[in-house]
Amino acid sequence: MKIVVIGGTGLIGSKVVEKLKQRDHEAIAAAPSTGVNTITGEGLAEVLAGAEVVIDVANSPSFEDRASMDFFQTAGKNLTAAEVAAGVKHHVALSVVGTERMQDSGYFRAKLAQESLIKSSPIPYTLVHATQFFEFLRTIAQFSTYDDTVRLPPVLFQPMAAEDVSTAVAEAALAEPVNDTVEIAGPDTFTLDEPVRKVLEHDKDARQVLADPAEPYFGSKVSEKTLVPGTGARLGSTRFDWWLANVPPPQKK
């Protein structure tokens, strides 16, 4: 089966492509670097020809309100039109647990707009809502740094490994469309400040992590359960302590 992975050269997308190829599917990594651009439409018709499934794991290059909204709306409309023309049978998209609860944030308003486009499309779909990746913890720290202090709300947090996210996305693509949202999460629950603190300690980073209930999360005020899934979420198998000890941090550019 031909499966096109939009954002297929990124952290999640590259893993999804590899997993699908291991199962003998024709998995195509679609990204600007491979000649496919969902913003301009370049290469979309060509790459989708003969595709049965499209997986969209692309992310906005900016968290800024207008830029992220423009990205998800433009890409979503172009992708839907190309999928309809190509006769695609299943659209799988990766989104974020709690998106609908974080509408103070322009980025999450843009993600919700993306989801609305998918739901209104004639293409059968599966939305995969994932909790935050372990690999994103350092970015959370950077975004929440004030001088030499990282301030985070001590709300419940159930992060997961990118490896487990990609497995769930690949499996969703090989299953029938559910025309609904499925949630995936890590096996353990923390407060948000705990794993960020552990990552910085592991990195021998001198920044202090403080739990501050008044702090927002990426510009959005969050309550205790904003960032965690409901009952019935599928849980990944990779535990945070194992990941921290075994997965090397990204190389600094």
The answer to the question of residue 205 being in a domain is yes
The answer to the question of residue 188 being in a domain is yes
Span 86-99, average pLDDT:
97
Q: Which two tokens stand for residue 35?
A: 């000649």
- CATH (domain of 202): 3.40.50.720
Residue 7 has pLDDT above 70, yes or no: yes
Residue 103, helix vs strand vs coil: coil
The answer to the question of residue 233 being in a domain is yes
Span 184-194, average pLDDT:
97
Residue 93, helix vs strand vs coil: strand
pLDDT of residue 81: 97
| Residue (of 237, 177, 163) closest to 14 by Cα position | 163
pLDDT of residue 85: 98
Residue 28, helix vs strand vs coil: strand
Residue 193 has pLDDT above 70, yes or no: yes
Name the pLDDT band for 239 (thresholds 50, 70, 90): very high
What share of the chain in percent tops pLDDT 90? 95
The answer to the question of residue 252 being in a domain is no
The answer to the question of residue 61 being in a domain is yes
User: CA geometry: angle at 251 spanning 197 and 227, to 5°?
Assistant: 40
pLDDT in tens, 29-53: 999 999 999 999 999 999 999 999 9
Quote the CA–CA distance of 214 and 199 in Å, as a whole number: 22
The answer to the question of residue 151 being in a domain is yes
pLDDT of residue 252: 62
The answer to the question of residue 253 being in a domain is no
Quote the CA–CA distance of 209 and 216 in Å, as a whole number: 14
In the predicted model, what is the mean pLDDT of the chain?
96
- Residue 234's domain spans which residues? 2-246
pLDDT in tens, 127-165: 999 999 999 999 999 999 999 999 999 999 999 999 999
The answer to the question of residue 251 being in a domain is no
Count the domains in the chain: 1
